Every structure is written in structure tokens, then in C-alpha cells.
Structure 1
Amino acid sequence: MKKKKLGNTELETAPIIFGGNVFGWTLDEKESFKMLDELLDKGYDTIDTADVYSRWAEGNSGGESETILGKWMKERGVRDRISLHTKVGSDMGQGHKDISKSYILSAVEDSLKRLQTDYIDLYYTHWDDDKTPVEETLEAYQKLIDQGKVRYIGASNLSAERLQDSLDAAKAKDLPKYQVFQQQYNLMERDDFEGEIKTICTANNVGVTTYFSLASGFLTGKYRKEDDFEGKKRKSFVQKYLNRRGLEVLGVLDEISEAHQISNAGVALAWIMNRPGVTAPIASATKSSHLKAFDEAVSVNLSEQEMNRLTEVSKK
């Protein structure tokens, strides 16, 4: 499997990054271990998680995903085979987002403990708090890099202005630079990335990873009428796509997937993988069979015409 380089780093990733938000949410510990074993066997060795995952599940308080991942790496003895990405700054129950220096330096210790490791390969600013000076946040990361607790940093969900300010401050004050930017991007949600964010990332050689790459499962094609998501945990995420545009996107996916004899998910991921400016999509799976779409996306060659059809039908 051909690896891709993340920004100006020594980190390489498989063409698809596994999203660890399912650990402790839709997958319990035993199921998570099974999924992680299969991923590593297939060569998908980059795992994306966050301190806040899976806080939203009933009975959880945050940190469940990191805890499961840390236990698995420890039991299997595979930490050195994993490119480990996690995040800081989201609401962990304190009632607000926080990317101040003091908060980051405290939160990283909790993440390292849960992950049962002494370093994080890529540490993201998860959400902006819209008040901490960008220099202060980067100074916190400088300290963690100097201590060997973090190798590289990235950012997620920042505004174009705050991203640019952070990149400018890193250059002007010799502070760590965000090497990767993570943003929502898929056939149903294109505006968050395309435009100013994409321009900034391209101009500054910032790698891009995309979350909700399958639009919370909508692009798999399994949600085509309201009855399909009733009682499902992802209902609140996918019901907004059940409209004329969404069904037209699914229609084109149906045709292209049939032509290649692969799944809709495989085609949707392949589209992202071949979009300008994107390094790798992040995708999750809850069953072994779902991983087939990863392999399909990596191996399929979409024609220019097929790429254009998908790009055109998904325009708003």
C-alpha cells in the first residue's frame, strides 16, 4: 500500500485514516480490538482519535476512545507500528472549548495516560476557543515538542483567518507550524474546505485530512428514506441529506459503483482521495465487511469523466 506524506513532516499515512470516534460508542472494547487488529493486518496504520471521543455516548464522560486505543496498543505491543493522532481543546465537560497554554499542557498528560504512551505523533487543536492568542497555543505545543511528548501539530475546524494567523505567527516567531489541517469534506459537504481554507493549505504545504468523509454513512447508500434511519444512532447526522440533491448524488454513485463492481462507499472515498489538496480521508467502520470499501477506494481508478460527474452532481 502506497503511503502519503503529511505536510512537511516525517509522518506517512495509509491512503485512508481510520476514525477512532467509534471506539467506546458504536463499538465496545472487544469489538474495537477486533477492528483494530484487522486494520493493522490490512496496513491501515494511522488512527485518528480525540480526548473528547466518545463523550456523547450514554454513560460516557470522554476519553473512552483514547482509553480503548491505548489498551489495545499496550496489549498488542504495536505502539511503534501506529501513527497516532489525537486532539485537544474540545469541551470535556468544563462547559467550554479551551486552547490556552495551561489547558493544553494539562490535557496532554491525561491523553498520554489514557493512550498508555509517552508521545503523540500528531496533536491537533480540535476546536478554536476564539480568544486565546495563537502565539500562546503554539508556545504550548513548542514545549511539548521540546519535551518529546508531541512530534508534530495540526489543527481542525479553525476559521481561515485564525489558520492564517497561526501560520504567520509560526513563521514570524519561530514557533511550531500546523502541518496538517482537518476539516469536514465529502460529496454532500464541500463548502467548509473548498475555497479559502484549501487555498491557505495549498500555499503553505499543509496536509489535509477530511472527516465525515462518508457524510456520517449517508454516502454508503443505506439511507434512502426516512424509515432507514429511524432508531439509528446516526439519525441526527444523516437525515438532513435526504433530499433531492442527496438522492441525485446517490444515483450517480450507484451507476459508478455498478460499473466498477464496488460499493458506493468505495467510490465516495476514492473521489475524496483524488480531489486536489486532500492528503487522505478519515473514515470509520463498525464491521469487518465495511473495511472492504477501504480496499476498493485504494485500488479503483476513477476516470476523469467519473470524477467530473461526481463533482458536478454534488454542487449545491
Structure 2
Amino acid sequence: MPRINNTDLEVFPLALGGNVFGWTADEEQSFAVLDAYAQAGGNFIDTADSYSAWVPGNSGGESETIIGRWMAARGNRDQMVVATKVSQHPEAKGLSRPTIRRAIDASLRRLQTDHVDLYYAHFDDPDTPLEETVSAFGELVREGKVRYIAASNYTAERLAEWLKITDAGGLPRIVALQPHYNLVERDRFEGSIAGLAAREGLSVVPYYALASGFLTGKYRDGAAGDSPRASGAAAYLDERGRRVLAALDEVAAAHDTAVATVALAWLAAQPTVVAPLASARTVEQLPDLLGVAQLRLTDAEIQRLTRASE
């Protein structure tokens, strides 16, 4: 299994997204998905304290609670690499020291564990001095509540500033990034952020790896679908999107595999990417995601997909 750089965390080549747990998947469905993922060798579970506060009747933390109950029921906490995030919970907004400390304790209670393996700053907080945020994360590592630190949705400039602070103060460094990145969303990651990740040895775990489902091939002309993500996927159905789907179809046919598997394999083949992140609402959706662990694209196929998505 690949290893997150500068850590002892060996992770399955697909990170399982927990954003659907407590949203489009109830606890029973979530347990079934988690069971199937673990049975296939999966060990890398990604969530956030805010999942899924946007659902009417939810308050945030539902996903962590389900994952915590599942690990307790299965007795497998030590076999799992658990990543969660801070800054967006309705009762723990931002990245001030008091907020981070309050949020980690709440996350640990919900996850029924004494530590998280990877703790992300979910979104930048421009209202809090970065030095305060960085030192607060460092305190959690020293106290054993967090093993390693990561960041999501940060600019290259702010990431560079974060790393400068840690290096100057001898504080624990960021080891991983979670950017929005996939075959039809390349601009915001490729370039300065990708370059920084390569220079600094940061492992990348891209979210929206399937572009809200568009890269599964389900959302084509005349097939809008009725899932909560259908409208987001439909936004990619332009000339470029159709070109990408055609290339995915071609490569998938050559390997007798699913379009989604090929899209994830392209992402997994990119420099610095350690594991794409994708979620499954049902067990039936998992095989196409898990296939990324076995599929290896040729250089020509990677180039074909890259050209189609430009």
C-alpha cells in the first residue's frame, strides 16, 4: 500500500469519503459500505466534523458519529487510518486555538477514539493569525490527540507561509493536502499548489475525484439523473466534458473496466497523489471505486486522457 510521505501511515489506494454518511446513506447503509470497503482491504477513511450539517435536522458530526460507532462495533480502530477536519462545524467555526481544541475533543468523542491519524485544517481562516493556528495544531500532536497534520482548500501562498512558520519554530509539518482535483477540474491544483507539494514532499488526497459523479459516465446527454449530485455533474457536460467521456470510454473498453475506475486511475497516476478520495452511498457503487487499486494505465492512456481534458 502507498505511504503518506514523512509518516508511518500506509493507506489503501482509495480513500473512502464519509460525507454521505448521515446524509444520503443512513447508519445501516453506511455500516454496509464501511464493511465492504474494509473487507476489500480498505483502511483510509475520510470525514469532517461538519458532515453533514447542511442536511435539515442535522447539526454536524453525524458522519464522525457513524464511523465511530462502526469502529467500536467492529473493534477495528487500530486497523483504520482516520482523517477528519476542523473549521466548518456550526459550533466550531474557524481555526483559532480555542476552536481547534474544542473541535478535536468533540471529534474524538464522536469517533470513539483517543486520536485521529490525520487532522486537516478544512478551510483557511483569514481572521486568525496563521501562527496561532499552526501552534495549536502542533500542541495537538504533542499531546497525542493528532498523529499528523494536513490542510485542505488552501492557496499555495498560504501553504508556503504555514510551512515557513513550522520550520522556523520547529513545529510539526503538514504532511498531506486535500485539494479539489480531477480530470475536469485541473487548473486550481496543477501549477503552484502541485509544485509546492512536489518540492515539500506533501502527499495529495484529491477530493471530488469523480467530479460530483460526472466522471462515472452516468450523467450524459439525455440522462440527467435524480441524485443530489446530478445538477453539479451536469455542469461539466460541455464540449470538453464530452471529449473527456469519450476518452474514458475508450480506455475503459480497453481494460474491460468502468469509466469511474479509469478516472480514478488517471488521478492516482499523477505526481504526488497518494490516494484519490471518493464516496459510495451503497455497496453496489463500491466495486468501480475499489478497482483503482488494481488498474494501471499505460503512459499512452494517461496522455490520451490528459489531452482530452485540456
TM-score where L is the length of structure 2: 0.97
SS in 1 for 2:276: strand
Partners of 1:282 and 1:293 lie apart in 2 by 13
Q: Deviations over 1:24-80 (max 9, x none)?
A: 111100000011111111111110000001112222111110000001111111111
CA distance in 1 between counterparts of 2:267 and 2:229 reads 21
Task: Decide whether the 8 Å contact of 1:120 with 1:151 is kept in 2.
Answer: yes
Q: Which residue of 2 aligns with 1:296?
A: 291
DSSP 3-state at the match of 1:191: coil
- Structure 1's consecutive aligned runs of 4 or more residues displaced over 3 angstroms after TM superposition are none
Partner of 1:277: 272
1:134 deviates by 1.7
| Structure 2 counterparts to residues 32-47 of structure 1, below 5 A | 32-47=30-45
Task: Give the distance between the partners of 1:27 and 1:17, measured in 2 at CA.
Answer: 17
Unaligned runs of 5+ in 2: none
Which residue does 1:89 correspond to in 2?
Answer: 87
Equivalent position of 1:77 in the other structure = 75
Residue 212 of structure 2 corresponds to residue 216 of structure 1: yes
Alpha carbons 1:226, 1:239 under 8 Å: kept? no
1:5-32 Cα distance to aligned partner (Å, 9 max, x none): 1121111111111111111111100000
TM-score by length of 1: 0.95
Distance (whole Å) between structure 2 residues aligned to residue 181 and residue 41 of structure 1: 27
Deviations 1:72-92 (A, max 9, x none): 1111111111100000012x2
Which structure has more relative contact order (CA 8 Å, sep 6+)? It is: 2
Equivalent pairs counted in the alignment come to: 310
Contact 2:86 2:103 in 1 (8 A): yes
In the alignment, the residues of structure 2 paired with residue 131 and residue 206 of structure 1 have an alpha-carbon distance, to the nearest angstrom, of 26
Tell me how far 1:227 sits from its aligned partner. Answer: 4.6
Listed as ranges, the matches of 1:231-242 within 5 Å are 231-242=226-237
Alignment correspondent of 2:301: 306
Partner of 2:20: 22
Match of 1:257 in 2: 252
1:162-177 paired onto structure 2 within 5 Å:
162-177=158-173
> Does the 8 A contact of 1:52 with 1:63 survive in 2?
yes
- 2:191 pairs, out of 165, 189, 195, with 195
SS of 1:132's equivalent in the other structure is coil
Q: Alignment partner of 2:292: what SS?
A: helix
Counterpart position of 1:60: 58
2:143 corresponds to 1:147: yes
Shift of 1:97: 4.2
Counterpart CA distance in 2 for 1:299 and 1:9 is 24
Q: Which amino acid aligns with 1:266?
A: T
Alignment deviations for residues 89-119 of structure 1 (CA, whole Å, 9 cap, x no partner)? 12x225x940111100011111011111111
Separation in 1, partners of 2:146, 2:116: 5
Corresponding position: 1:131 with 2:127? yes
Aligned equivalent of 2:174 = 178
Contact 1:97 1:127 in 2 (8 A): no
2:224, 2:231 within 8 Å by CA — same for their partners in 1?
A: no
- What is the percent sequence identity of the aligned residues? 47
Which sections of structure 1, spanning at least 5 residues, go unmatched? none
Distance, in Å, in 2 between the alignment partners of 1:261 and 1:227 is 23
Partner of 2:60: helix, strand, or coil? coil
